[in-house]
Structure 1
Amino acid sequence: MAQPQTREWQSTLTVWSPDDLDEADRELLREAHEAASKAYAPYSRFQVGGAVLLEDGTVVRGSNQENMAYPSGMCGERVAVFAAGAQHPGAVMCALAIVSPSPKAIADAFMPCGGCRQVLVEAERRQGKPLRVILQVRDEDVMISESA
Structure 2
Amino acid sequence: MSEKIEQKVILHLLDINELSESEIALLEKAKKAMKNAYAPYSHFGVGAALLMEDGQILAANNQENASFPVGVCAERVLLGFAHANFPELRPLKIMIVAQRFHEAGFATVSPCGLCRQTINEYEVKFGRPIEILMLTPEGKVLKAANVSQLLPFKFDDLNS
TM-score relative to the length of structure 2:
0.81
Matched, 1:115 2:91: no
Q: Distance between the aligned counterparts of 1:50 and 1:8, measured in 2?
A: 31
Match of 1:96 among 85, 94, 101: 94
Q: Could you give the per-residue CA deviations for residues 7-49 of structure 1, whole angstroms, max 9, x where no partner exists? A: 9765421001112212211111101111111100000010000
Long gaps (5+) in structure 2: 148-160
Give the partner amino acid of 1:31: K
1:139 positional shift: 6.4
Say whether the 8 Å CA contact 2:97–2:106 is kept in structure 1.
no
Match of 1:67 among 43, 65, 68: 65
Say whether the 8 Å CA contact 1:97–1:133 is kept in structure 2.
yes
Say whether the 8 Å CA contact 1:46–1:105 is kept in structure 2.
no
Q: Could you give the per-residue CA deviations for residues 39-81 of structure 1, whole angstroms, max 9, x where no partner exists? A: 0000001000011110001111110000000111100111111
Structure 1 residues 62 and 19: CA distance shift in structure 2, 3 A: same
Q: Could you give the per-residue CA deviations for residues 61-115 of structure 1, whole angstroms, max 9, x where no partner exists? A: 11000000011110011111111011101210000011113349643xx211110
Let me know the Cα RMSD of the aligned residues. Answer: 2.1
Map 1:6-17 onto structure 2 (within 5 A).
10-17=8-15
For 1:4, the equivalent position in structure 2 comes to: none
Q: Distance between the aligned counterparts of 1:123 and 1:8, measured in 2?
A: 25
TM-score relative to the length of structure 1:
0.87
